[in-house]
Chain A
Amino acid sequence: MAVEDSELIDSYRATGRRDSLDELARRYLGRMRNVVYQMVLDDEAADDLTQEVMLRALRGLANFNGQAEFATWIYRIAMNTVYSFLARRRRSPLRFPGELPEPIDEAAESPERAAMRAELDGRIAQALDDLSPKLRAAIVLTTLHHWSPAQAAEIEGCSTGTMYWRIHEAREQLQGQLATWLKI
């Protein structure tokens, strides 16, 4: 049976052993990298910010009061770190030209299909970037990270009603931006 996050934290507090921290880091690193990337839409920045989020969480464990789940807490740190970064970056918005990525499977994907997928990815990234950070967070947390609206509201520090509104608004904007692709 997998050890609960709270047990790892208790173990670290009791013994100061690094292996508990390493296990926590292993559990959350991928999720944090993904949520950060989905918010900032920039690989290099996502790597830097993920490291920052993980260090803030691990260094701050001594002050983690356990009132919230660790998962909620670390997501909150991630979102706050992301918001801060976006606030500083907001005067130089990203553009997504839809550059051709490395094909996932060259044998299975034709050049036309790869080009179409690259364009789609560029459009999706652009549509996400055009959302306000709060709306983007609402759709990222609930659709891509599977938090319920109530849990996402707890992470974001808003009411559940507000979160429902943000999800609705984000979906409307995305559907408008991606209408062409949604019909294919």
Chain B
Amino acid sequence: MAKDMNETNGDPLELLLRGWADRHAADSGSLDRIQGAIGQAMENDDKSQIADSTVAAPGRWQSRALWFAIGAVAASLLAMVSIMLWSPKRPEIGGHDPPQRSGGVQAAITPEQVARDTKLFAELDRMFGRQLRWIAESDGKLELGIEPDAAAAPPANSKPVTIRFTVVKRVQGDRDWSVVWTVNLVARNEQLVQLQPAQADSPSLMVWAYPLPDGQIACDTEWSLGGSDRLHGKASELQSAGDVRELASAAEGGVEYRVYQTVQLLDHEVI
């Protein structure tokens, strides 16, 4: 680094700040704990096993109450508009996809979907006066997140991302997987998307994505399936565009589950 570590030039403000920083530097016990957690997580990566979908990426999710509180605030800022969308161009989703031998097949984002999502987001954004923040499509229903404050500027550097979240299952011993739930999302950079369950036993999803300067996309996800598929979990991932990532796997009552997430950048020049 360019400056000498101990250089202060006698500047009183720098001395004050550096003294404070020294007094609040991480202690070795804290660093050991973090290092241990990192080592454990990397070891789990090596094994490519996520035995319990609720323990993936434990770090930030320890502040669960905070996450929910912030989500509630964010949700209150958005006017939720739900409209039924029926289009022969869109594949029917939500348990009707044919079974596949690889659970990840259904999670891929195709170039056609990227093109379609880009166009849809651009058109809806114009329709809502640049106040559109996100779109979520699930079970044939389209939900829109709209910024209610007409004076609010669109977020700076807002490259929208499209996210496909897919849960598949199969009876243990079976060869093929079938889709339990799929959500297609398009969200602006750093936009928290919170899909609340329509009913007590409906699935819910929270997603927050952020493209990094190097092209990767940081994505935090928390999900819960209601009904007979009692599966819930959370993940904090760094994904390459187009990469189909298995977020979690679980088995319960003789049924195996896999949770996949794929993220892709939209053509922000269009938007």
Contact = CB atoms under 8 A, between A and B. Distances in A.
Partners in one complex: yes
Interface of A: 18, 21-22, 25-26, 29-30, 33-34, 37-38, 43-52, 54-56, 58-60, 63-65, 71, 73, 76-77, 80-81, 84-85, 87-89, 91-92, 101, 104, 117, 120-121, 124-125, 139, 142-148, 150-151, 157, 171, 174-175, 178, 181-182
A146 B46 CA distance: 35
Contact of B212 (A33, A48, A76, A142): A76
A45 B63 CA distance: 8
A65 B25 CA distance: 31
B38 A55 contact: yes
Nearest to B24: A37
B59 A52 contact: yes
Given A30-B26, A37-B24, A60-B216, A145 B238 contact: no
A144 B30 CA distance: 20
A55 B59 contact: yes
A151 B5 CA distance: 15
Interface stretch (B64-72, B122-130, B137-145, B146-154): B64-72
Classify the secondary structure of A's interface with B: helix
Given A84-B190, A84-B210, A143 B38 contact: no
A54 B192 CA distance: 23
A48 B62 contact: yes
A71 B255 CA distance: 45
Contact of A80 (B41, B46, B218): B218
Interface residues of B, number: 55
B45 A121 contact: no
Interface of B: 1-5, 7, 12-14, 16-18, 20-21, 23-26, 30-31, 33-35, 37-39, 41-42, 45-46, 57-60, 62-63, 66-67, 69-70, 73-74, 190, 192, 208, 210, 212-216, 218, 236, 238, 240
Pick from A59, A71, A76, A148 the residue with the most CB of B within 10 Å. A59
Given A76-B212, A124-B20, A148 B1 contact: yes
Contact of B4 (A55, A125, A146): A146
28 contacts: A29-B34, A37-B26, A43-B30, A48-B59, A50-B34, A54-B38, A55-B41, A55-B42, A59-B238, A64-B214, A65-B214, A76-B212, A84-B218, A88-B192, A91-B73, A120-B16, A121-B20, A125-B20, A142-B3, A143-B13, A143-B14, A146-B5, A147-B1, A150-B2, A151-B1, A174-B13, A181-B16, A182-B12
Nearest to B157: A157
Contacts of B39: 22, 25
Contacts of A73: 214
Contacts of B62: 44, 48
B31 to A, nearest CB: 6
A174 B39 CA distance: 38
Contacts, number: 155
Main secondary structure of the interface of B (DSSP, over half): helix
Contacts of A56: 218, 238
Given A56-B238, A88-B67, 16 more contacts: A18-B42, A25-B39, A48-B62, A52-B57, A55-B41, A60-B214, A63-B216, A63-B240, A76-B213, A81-B218, A89-B70, A92-B66, A121-B20, A121-B23, A124-B17, A142-B3
A162 B28 CA distance: 36
B34 A33 contact: yes
A73 B74 CA distance: 30
A38 B21 contact: yes
B236 to A, nearest CB: 6
Contacts of B20: 120-121, 124-125
Nearest to B240: A63
